[in-house]
Structure 1
Amino acid sequence: MASPASPCGLTVAIMTDEIGWHTRQLQAALQARACLGRCVDLADCRIDTTAAWHGLVIPGFGRELPDAVLVRGIAGGTFEQVTKRLGVLHALRELGVPVYNDARAIERSVDKSMTSLLLHAAGIPTPPTWATESIAQAQRIAIREGAAGHALVLKPLFGSQGKGLRLVGDVEGVHYPLPDIGAAYGGLAYLQRFVPASTAPGFDWRVLVIGGRSVTAMRRVSEHWIHNVAQGARCEPADLSPELARLAEDAAQALGMDYAGVDLMPSAPRPGARARPGHGIQVIEVNGAAAWQGLQRVTGFNIARALVDDLIDRRLMLAGGDAHSKTPRRA
């Protein structure tokens, strides 16, 4: 039997390690669809094969499972802790619970090197990227790229909000050496070719893709080369051009995501290079648990409601569920 819920709807577990504006927005959107949203920290979930037929314990759900799961955030931790948390999401999917985004999509997007690899394999314009555990090899890459007139960006593999980004090479007459990739970068050099700003001030785009369709966008404008809102960039509304929308949708599809925040940058072709469709825009990152508070300020519709509507009207229907008549699960 499904877990206790609101009288007319479903009970959705909102997986999050932080309760705040985003979770309140999602709970309100679920309530508007006569559903109940319960915040659950994956760190508090556990495997217990003696507790119920399915072997999971999800706080607030007793011996039952949620009707659906909406992943808002996963707390960092040790390799073992993160493996268990993702394992819970994998198990829920295998047990027939729609997970939005599921663990596979989260893994593809949280690992920036895998994101870059999948974008490249799908033929989506993205900066050349390297990931190596060898500091000597990383130095050779930096020297070779520098000789060709390119700087690099060193990024934490699992970083977010623009934290830990470092320039490597020569930028505007200043040389930035490759830093130690030890503890701060987990002994891994994830390097991406630096895309210089094409305007002053510089900007990038954040495009929100929901259910395979680009639905809204903003420009993140900053005097600094890092354009994250958390690093001081300002949000401006942006038109969704067909090219921008298509690239964002292709990127989300390449990673198999229900919803995604796709970061893109304008880039000029190299001198003498032949212009081709999509060459002027590059996909930098794809976020599987994207924040949207800044984007909401420049968007005319309720983003949380759009996410919840897609979860209920598309994902649950694909999974054989019904937002108005529950399908009992094994007791």
Structure 2
Amino acid sequence: MLRLAMTTDAETFDRVRGPLADRGIAVDHVQAKERALRVSGGGDHETGGGGVGGDADGEFSGFDAGFVYPSRLMEGAVVDTRLSVPWVNDQEAVLTSRNKAGVLAALDDAGLPTPRTTMVSNPVDEAVVTEAVEPLSYPVVVKPNSATRGVGVATATDLDSLLGVVDYLNLVHDYRATGDKSYLIQEFLPDARDYRAMVVDGAYAGAVERALPADAVAAGRWKHNVHRGAEATGVDLPDRARELAERTAETLGIDYLGVDLLAADGRLVVNETNARPTVDAATKYEPGFYDRLAALIERTAATG
């Protein structure tokens, strides 16, 4: 049986274990964060002193592939070395998808529809922010370039509120250790329907619509992230949306991808992508979802 290392033990891990085991793939958890990882054993390799010796209990041994590269890249580099396996979505794929501005720029260059967006790279004067927002109409969305799960995403209804949000970003970016000092100013699509389409090995494999409860919407909330209380319901997307999701994955060169689509006023745009997408219940995807996923894992393992 093929053995797959998964560095998450959240919902996806629990959901995929059974279906993949039925297809000859054993899934085991490898903890990549919130722990101590032996980096070097101090051995003298030139005199036969040996390597790290940090896998005495076989924690990283016997795997054929990984799914997907760890979310924390620093820890991921150590785990990647210890496992020494090919990944379904390697470090490059995760980095590509995590850069929201880079994704939107690549898709726009390929002629795919995206929201009107400007990236701001701090530090800049207020005049630069003022000029950046001029092509857009208020309200606008302000979001960190590389955060996930809707963290730090806000709307601004006028220039003063926009500059107020930027003030908080400036405080964060002023800290020297902050790696990503960029953020996006993006057009706001009110009442947009929010979809997460899954693409596996180049083909559409199902989708969910994410929606907040009616009382949350009535209270003024608008971010339809599952981690913030939205419910994901399986939907049958039209061909137009399916093709857009597939073209997005092809443009980015990522085999396993969650594509976030917004539909409003006749427009359908790619808002973001996720190379570490949460897998929902199998009933919310196409019948061949796990067959396709298993085939991708097997093909990945064969490259190792």
| Both proteins in one fold, TM over 0.5 | yes
* Range with greater deviation from structure 2 (52-61 or 36-45): 52-61
Q: State the alpha-carbon separation in 2 of the partners of residues 261 and 191 from structure 1.
A: 20
CA contact (8 A) 2:39 2:78 kept: no
Which residue, 230, 236, 239 being the options, matches 2:236?
Answer: 239
Q: What's the CA shift for 1:11?
A: 1.9
Which residue, 198, 203, 210 being the options, matches 2:193?
Answer: 203
Change (3 A) 1:297 1:99: same
Change (3 A) 1:177 1:84: same
Flag the structure with higher helix content: 2
Q: What's the CA shift for 1:264?
A: 0.9
Q: What's the CA shift for 1:164?
A: 1.4
Residue identity matched to 2:297: L
CA contact (8 A) 2:257 2:275 kept: yes
Q: What's the CA shift for 1:235?
A: 2.7
What corresponds to 1:113 in structure 2? 101
What corresponds to 2:123 in structure 1? 134
What corresponds to 1:40 in structure 2? 30
SS at match of 1:42: coil
Q: State the alpha-carbon separation in 2 of the partners of residues 54 and 30 from structure 1.
A: 34
Q: What's the CA shift for 1:109?
A: 1.3
Aligned residues: 282
Q: State the alpha-carbon separation in 2 of the partners of residues 250 and 54 from structure 1.
A: 44
Q: What's the CA shift for 1:175?
A: 5.1
CA contact (8 A) 1:129 1:192 kept: yes
Counting only pairs closer than 5 Å after superposition, residues 64-83 of structure 1 correspond to structure 2 as: 64=61, 66-71=63-68, 73-75=70-72, 82-83=73-74
Which residue, 281, 284, 287 being the options, matches 1:298?
Answer: 284
CA contact (8 A) 1:204 1:227 kept: yes
Counting only pairs closer than 5 Å after superposition, residues 161-240 of structure 1 correspond to structure 2 as: 161-170=149-158, 176-179=162-165, 180-184=168-172, 186=178, 188-197=181-190, 199=191, 202-222=192-212, 223=217, 224-240=221-237
CA contact (8 A) 2:133 2:185 kept: no
Q: What's the CA shift for 1:298?
A: 3.2
Q: State the alpha-carbon separation in 2 of the partners of residues 58 and 267 from structure 1.
A: 52
What corresponds to 1:102 in structure 2? 90
Q: State the alpha-carbon separation in 1 of the partners of residues 55 and 297 from structure 2.
A: 20
Q: What's the CA shift for 1:231?
A: 2.1
Which residue, 296, 299, 303 being the options, matches 1:310?
Answer: 296
What corresponds to 1:15 in structure 2? 7
SS at match of 1:163: coil
Q: What's the CA shift for 1:252?
A: 1.6
Q: CA RMSD in A?
A: 3.5
Change (3 A) 1:99 1:56: farther
Can you give the 5+ residue segments of structure 2 that lack an aligned partner in the other structure?
none
Q: What's the CA shift for 1:297?
A: 5.7
Q: What's the CA shift for 1:183?
A: 4.9
Change (3 A) 1:108 1:300: closer
What corresponds to 2:268 in structure 1? 281
SS at match of 2:277: coil
Q: What's the CA shift for 1:156?
A: 2.4
Normalised to the residue count of structure 2, the TM-score between the two structures is: 0.76
CA contact (8 A) 2:118 2:132 kept: no
Q: Which runs of 4+ in 1 moved over 6 A?
A: 51-56
Q: What's the CA shift for 1:265?
A: 0.9
Q: State the alpha-carbon separation in 2 of the partners of residues 146 and 58 from structure 1.
A: 56
CA contact (8 A) 1:204 1:264 kept: yes
Deviations, residues 51-93 of structure 1 (Å, cap 9, x unaligned): 9999795686368452111127524xxxxxx33524653x589
Q: State the alpha-carbon separation in 2 of the partners of residues 227 and 281 from structure 1.
A: 16
Q: State the alpha-carbon separation in 1 of the partners of residues 155 and 14 from structure 2.
A: 37
Q: State the alpha-carbon separation in 2 of the partners of residues 163 and 188 from structure 1.
A: 15
What corresponds to 2:251 in structure 1? 254
Can you give the 5+ residue segments of structure 1 that lack an aligned partner in the other structure?
1-8, 76-81, 270-279, 322-331
